[in-house]
Amino acid sequence: MSLFIRHARTSLSLALHRATLSQAQLSARRISPSTTALFSRFQSTVSTFQPGEPSAFEDEFSAPPKLYRKLPQCDPLTTRRSTALKDGTAQVAHPQHIRASSLQEVNAKLMRDYVQRTPHPPSEYYITLSFYQFRPLSEMDVLRMQYFLLNDLRAMDVVGRIYVSTEGMNAQISCPKNREEEFKTYFAEHWSVFDKIRFNRAMSEGKAFKKLHVRVKRQLVSDGIDNSSFDITDQPIYLTPEEWHSELSSLTKPPILIDMRNHYESSIGHFEHAIRPDVTTFKENVDAMFEICEGKEDQDIYMYCTGGIRCTRSGALLRSKGFKSVKMLQGGVTAYGRYIQERRQEEVERVKGESETEKKAKEVHSIYKGKNFTFDKRLGEPITEDVLAKCHLCGSACDTYHNCSNMACNLLMISCPTCRTKHEGTCGSSSCVDMVKDIRAKQRTIDEKHPELRGMKARPGVQPFHNHRMRVRPDVVLSNVRS
Ligand SMILES: [Zn+2]
Ligand SMILES: [Zn+2]
């Protein structure tokens, strides 16, 4: 089919399904001119095409009834038509009849435009939420979901990283505080197919993401295990943070407690007595889990991760192998951190007026020590003041992660303030220091020459030189640099 016909066909189908974004609405939503052009193309046929008119593409759409057939009412995802925005006016085009390839094109375009050109409220107005659910979806529904989420969440000034898949969805988002309820209501109304989602709020406030990404993934958490080989609905026992705390605190001997996170996450904070596999990926951790649990089918197995999604999957994997008592921390370390935070706040209220010694004696005990690593720009939030890790450059006690400021290196490492200043925010290798110094000098020249560009950063257009495994192994990388 010629390109023209393909485009025309997309235009026609979108127009037929109420592509009602007016120019004013488009500009009100700050969509870039190029996206506007894309939608205009869809809209151009609205005025000329009347329902009932013979289609110009008889061979493609044999008759109008085919286009207007009633949609099956089985799944809200496939029957959703429009989205009311905050001001109650705008609607987005309904992608019901767009073919997957066209919708992919539209989504990619939306994502490119949105992430680059969206002014947001200041960081302090944001809170961070994470949520997930495994639920089978068709490939087309995944694309529609990507399309709607990109449109709707952007209209609510939400930023973050959302993974959608034929398995379900996994999201970490930062939402303006004053729109948290609006967001939750929106979610309940429009995404009722996700009926088991729990919103897991982070301890600290502030915007944890710069942009909004909604990406289509093959697997939500990748362990390479075929979904048909086990039953994801055969779930482990979910312990609330409170139940988890009291159960683990009252055990007389150390439990089989597995940290389902990677080595760089568990090294800055973990539960007391946890077994922490030295792994770089979830797939490796699942292998380690099976090794640890071998022959212990009748014992209690406890597991935890950041937000719960990894245990939801690995817990079901263990259940499928005949493990009887698998218990996981609901909402993961994030939920436990909030539980401790809330208990501390209650305690502060209760002990008002008491002496410092009395207060000290009643301090809330956390069985998690240190920081909770987070996959956002914060790279972690503290639960207790314990510092469990060391600066990778000088060895002093430190648990603050940074990425090497040479973006081509991007090594994820712990570096103390002294080392960061001394090595220009890099990993300390001479090539990275030289590169960063060079870029900064160039930036200064550009700033002086073009004051109007101040604040825009020069970027080194080079290939990353660590693969994803080595990028999180500063101990190995830096020992190679030194030798
Ligand atoms: Zn240091
Ligand atoms: Zn580096």
Closest by Cα among 171, 177, 368 to 261: 368
Whole-number Å distance, alpha carbon 423 to ligand 1 midpoint, is 10
In this predicted structure, the answer to whether residue 323 has a pLDDT above a threshold of 90 is yes
In this predicted structure, the answer to whether residue 142 has a pLDDT above a threshold of 70 is yes
In this predicted structure, the answer to whether residue 88 has a pLDDT above a threshold of 70 is no
Handedness of CA 337, 340, 345, 348 (dihedral sign): negative
Whole-number Å distance, alpha carbon 189 to ligand 2 midpoint, is 46
Q: Secondary structure of the chain: what % helix, strand, coil (to 5)?
A: 40, 15, 45
pLDDT at 458: 55
Whole-number Å distance, alpha carbon 161 to ligand 2 midpoint, is 25
pLDDT at 107: 80
Q: What string of DSSP letters covers 12-80?
A: HHHHHTT----HHHHHHTT--HHHHHHHHHHHTTTTT--TTSPPS-TTTS--HHHHHPPPPSS-HHHH-
Quick one: which ligand is closest to 396's CA?
Answer: 1
pLDDT tens, 103-130? 787 788 777 766 555 567 888 889 999 9
Q: What string of DSSP letters covers 455-469?
A: TPPP------SS-TT
- CA dist., res. 74 & res. 140, Å (int): 15
pLDDT tens, 376-395? 888 899 999 999 999 999 99
Quick one: which ligand is closest to 428's CA?
Answer: 2
Burial class of residue 454 (count of CB atoms within 10 Å of its CB; 0-12, 13-18, 19+): exposed
Eight-class DSSP state of 377 = T
Q: What average pLDDT does range 189-200 have in this prediction?
A: 85
Q: Which domains does the chain have, with CATH numbers?
A: 3-84+92-216 (3.30.70.100), 226-382 (3.40.250.10), 401-482 (no CATH)
Quick one: which ligand is closest to 433's CA?
Answer: 2
pLDDT at 456: 64
Q: What average pLDDT does range 20-46 have in this prediction?
A: 39
What average pLDDT does the chain have? 78
In the structure, ligand 2 is a single-atom ion and the residues with CB under 5 Å from it are: 404, 406, 409, 411, 426-427, 432
In this predicted structure, the answer to whether residue 294 has a pLDDT above a threshold of 90 is yes
Q: What average pLDDT does range 369-375 have in this prediction?
A: 93
Q: What average pLDDT does range 73-81 have in this prediction?
A: 34
Q: Which of 24-28, 61-65, 374-378 has the highest mean pLDDT?
A: 374-378
Per-residue pLDDT band at 65 (split at 50, 70, 90): very low
Whole-number Å distance, alpha carbon 386 to ligand 1 midpoint, is 17
pLDDT at 14: 39
Whole-number Å distance, alpha carbon 410 to ligand 2 midpoint, is 6
The answer to whether 416 is a known catalytic residue is no
User: Would you say 150 and 104 are in contact if contact means Cβ atoms under 8 Å apart?
Assistant: no
Of the listed 74, 175, 293, 305, which one is catalytic? 305
DSSP-H helix ranges across 263-308: 263-266, 282-293
Whole-number Å distance, alpha carbon 411 to ligand 2 midpoint, is 6
Quick one: which ligand is closest to 395's CA?
Answer: 1
List phi, psi (to 5°) of 133: -160, 135
Quick one: which ligand is closest to 411's CA?
Answer: 2
| Residue appearing with tokens 């103390």 | 416
In this predicted structure, the answer to whether residue 326 has a pLDDT above a threshold of 70 is yes
Please provide the distance, in angstroms rounded to a whole number, between the alpha carbons at the two ends of the chain: 59
Whole-number Å distance, alpha carbon 474 to ligand 2 midpoint, is 9
pLDDT at 99: 61
pLDDT at 43: 36
- CA dist., res. 105 & res. 374, Å (int): 31
Whole-number Å distance, alpha carbon 306 to ligand 2 midpoint, is 27
